[in-house]
Amino acid sequence: MVATELRVIYGDTDKMGIVYYANYLRFFEAGRNEFIRAKGLRYRDFEELHRLALPVVDAQVSYRSPARYDDLLRVEVRLTEVRRASARFGYRVLRGEELLATGHTVHACVDLDGRVQRMPRALLDRLLPGEDVAT
């Protein structure tokens, strides 16, 4: 698991001062990027080195309590499942110890023309250590 902190900016909120629901997917993305970075990779390097991309093909968010402007959030990210040509990440968004949202994203592994490809072993070797992952 990798945790990332971020502060809610005014532009993340709606007229009521509550984080707009779709912005949780942006929080997930920020956490996922830091997860990949913590494993010694940069997403850009993955695209350039392997000529592959990991587009989101499924996303789900469950909201429990609202985040508000200037809240300091912690986004926890886990790699929860790896298949031949996809990976699933799980997320928890917290304010202190209060759980605000949970969710997941599933990413297909595709070449730059959008054709499904097997996950490269070199990528898996970097992402899997320390993770409790279903395969």
Per-residue pLDDT for the chain (135 aa), expressed as one digit of tens each? Answer: 999 999 999 999 999 899 999 999 999 999 999 999 998 888 887 788 788 999 999 999 999 999 999 999 999 999 999 999 999 999 999 999 999 999 999 999 999 999 999 988 888 887 877 666 766
**Nearest-angstrom CA–CA distance, 69 and 66:** 10
Quote the pTM value.
Answer: 0.91
- Over 72-87, what HEC string results? EEEEEEEEEEEECCEE
14 counts as catalytic: yes
Tokens standing for 132?
């409790």
Fold annotation for 2-127: Thiol Ester Dehydrase; Chain A (3.10.129)
Choose the catalytic residue: 14, 45, 70, 125.
Answer: 14
Structural domain spans, the chain: 2-127
